Amino acid sequence: QLENKEKAIQLLRSQLYEIELRKRQSERDKIEGSKKKIEWG
């Protein structure tokens, strides 16, 4: 029983980590994109 709970918590953490990484990546892309637009504009 306890082992399952541990696994569930780990899974949840890794999913949250994935979401956080994607958010940061998209934020960075937005910033990079606007920088490029300024350079080319």
What is each CA distance from 9 to 3, 6, 12, 31, in whole angstroms? 10, 5, 5, 33
Could you give the CA distance from residue 12 to residue 34 in angstroms, rounded to a whole number?
Answer: 33
User: What domain range includes position 9?
Assistant: 1-41
- Tens of pLDDT along 1-41? 778 999 999 999 999 999 999 999 999 998 888 877 766 65
What's the pLDDT score for residue 38? 67
Instruction: Report the half-sphere exposure of 20 (CA within 13 A, side-chain side).
Output: 6
Token pair belonging to 11: 């899974």
pLDDT at 10: 96
pTM as predicted: 0.62
Number of domains in the chain: 1
